[in-house]
A and B are shown apart, each in its own frame.
Chain A
Amino acid sequence: MKKVFFTVICTVFLCACADKKAQEQAALDAVINVHDKIMGEDELLMKNKLLLDSLVSKNTPAKDSATAWIGKVVLADSAMSTWMHNFDPDMKGKSHEQKMDYLGKQKQLVKLLDTQMNVALTGSRNFLTKKNIK
């Protein structure tokens, strides 16, 4: 009887541990997925930056507007870079609760970055389209 009880306790304990690990992995994946999406957007943002740079160098009447868009593009790109640098995917020494809390906050942060990136990307693209620059 004692053996059965011991086996049941061990099984419950192992299942709980595995469940916690799975929760942490799912939360980490959710953050990384947004990050990877932003990386694709960042590439398109750099394309727009090159086009805006060339518009500024040509000294056209649209120079000031182009310079303003470059500022927004650089800001969005820089914010993403800073987040990547500070993000700690290993989370060494943190408890399960601390990890879940950390990843929850990082997901919110990275979603805000995604919004900022989209605003810069869509705005700069619309501006370039109006100027017939592709």
Chain B
Amino acid sequence: MSEYIEHDIDGISVGIVEKKFFTFSDPPGEMTLESGSRIGPVTIAYETYGELDRDRQNAVLIMHALTGDSHVAGYYSPDDKKPGWWDIMVGPGKGIDTEKYFVICSNILGSCMGSTGPNTTNPLTGRAYGHDFPVVTITDMVRAQKRLLEHLGIEKLLAVIGGSIGGMQLLEWCVRYPDMVTAAIPLATTTKHSALAIAFNEVARQAIMADPNWNNGDYYEGERPDTGLAVARMIGHITYLSDEAMRRKFGRRLQGKSDFSFNFGADFQIESYLRYQGTKFVERFDANSFLYITKAADYYNLGRHYGGGSLVEAFSKTRAKFLVVSFTSDWLYPTYQSKKMVQAMKKNGLDVSFCEIEAQWGHDAFLLPSERLTSLLKGFLDRVYTEDPQR
């Protein structure tokens, strides 16, 4: 996902928030991963907003996408320049109302925003894991989140909400821990990557691994593979937009010049935009995390994992109420993929609503201000909150 960190135009915010950490699976009780590898200790960075009500029935878990973090909303300090990545949606009176719900978001296992990942120190060597970090899967990420919820004393989630790779974690939650999830809102997501999605990820990974500084993932004490990571990010940004979005936003306009420079500088605005996004990204993200998380997303296949190849069988394990949302111009996870999961839910008699939002901004649309999306989330959450028999 892109960085669309926007201040709320009305200035409404959840306020000052704090990033917290939870560490578990200390050796010798390491966490066994899906691959069979073991890892420990594991730290998960997380944030919470709002108050957990007395009967602990108003918890909402938000799951971030590829490059996101636990910082969904609010500010770390009064002079913090940027709010969290979904500040427009999460806060008092917003789509996900922090006056009503207890909102939790954690950084995924394998990332680099506070949770254990390849840039974490390996207790066995005293150096960063680098390429020794075991391959983690979406299942592993969700199992780590489950540990965090146990730590927070939450046995029931009113709703899980996630877009893109966050949506995959959400689906995993629904089939793996069906008794814990009352409702789910998968946004712009899929039950498995298409060849197109894997192809883009592979090119992005190749860009990182072709950077001599990558050094087989062992670069934390020297130069970093910034060029490779920047190119990987540029590829990502192409997949997050759409033909229409790029035509509207950039067209063939030139950047700060009236004619071609007849060299390989950035002539076109789109070139300049992608370069800027790439350069900015390397300041905040770790190349190895990019490799691990994209691989986890490519491996994910809900139907194969839980249904012997049948999505209908996989969804028979869940009892959540769903609101599935896709966006017309999303070519990374097109609407037909959302419809496939909706179909499987219907075949299981699940309570499912589906809306395809007309949007020109491609995959990124789920992060952009949208009254439609806000009111959908608000209405659906209101309903499941009211209907919840436990309350």
Q: Do A and B come from one complex?
A: no
